[in-house]
Amino acid sequence: MKLLSILAVLSLGLLSYAAPSTQRIAPRPKAPAPVPALRWTPGVATPNMLVTSADPDTRRYMVRVPSTYSTQHAPYPVVFMLHGTGQTAQIALTNTTWNQASEMLDFIVVYPEALPYLLLDGTTRTKWHTEEVAANVVDPSELPLADDVVFLREVHATLAAHLNIDTTRVYATGFSNGGAFVKTKIHVDLADIFAATTSAGGIGLGGGLASQYYPTNGYDFRPHFEVVGTVDDKKRENCVQLGDLNPGDLLPRAVLDVIATPCVWDPLMLYTNALGLNTAACTTVENASYTQFLWNTSVLPGPGPREYRFRILPGMTHEYPSGTNYAVDYVPIFYSWMSQYTL
Q: Does domain 32-201 have CATH number 1.10.3210.10?
A: no
Alpha-carbon distance 81 to 84, whole Å?
10
Please tell me the predicted confidence (pLDDT) of residue 5. 40
| Biggest alpha carbon–alpha carbon distance for the chain | 112
Decide: 269 and 204 in contact? Cβ < 8 Å: yes
Decide: 184 and 130 in contact? Cβ < 8 Å: yes
Decide: 183 and 213 in contact? Cβ < 8 Å: yes
Per-residue CA distances from 38 to 62, 157, 209 (Å): 10, 11, 39
Please tell me the predicted confidence (pLDDT) of residue 23. 47
Sequence length of the chain is 343
Please tell me the predicted confidence (pLDDT) of residue 29. 55
Number of other CB atoms surrounding residue 184 within 10 Å: 22
Alpha-carbon distance 61 to 178, whole Å?
14
For residue 9, report the phi and psi dihedrals to the nearest 5 degrees. Answer: -65, -45
Decide: 251 and 235 in contact? Cβ < 8 Å: yes
Chain Cα centroid distance, residue 229? 21
Decide: 77 and 170 in contact? Cβ < 8 Å: yes
**Best CA proximity match to 67, nearest among 32, 23, 29, 100:** 100
* Structural domain spans, the chain: 32-201
Cα separation of the two ends of the chain: 81
pLDDT digits (tens, 9 = 90+) for 208-266: 999 999 999 999 999 999 999 999 999 999 999 999 999 999 999 999 999 999 999 99
Ramachandran assignment for 202, one of left (phi > 0), alpha (psi -120 to 50 degrees), beta (any other): beta
**Model's pTM, two decimal places?**
0.90
Residue ranges of the chain with per-residue pLDDT less than 50: 1-26
Alpha-carbon distance 218 to 333, whole Å?
29
Number of other CB atoms surrounding residue 110 within 10 Å: 26
Burial class from Cβ neighbours inside 10 Å (0-12, 13-18, 19+) for residue 88 reads middle
Alpha-carbon distance 151 to 53, whole Å?
8
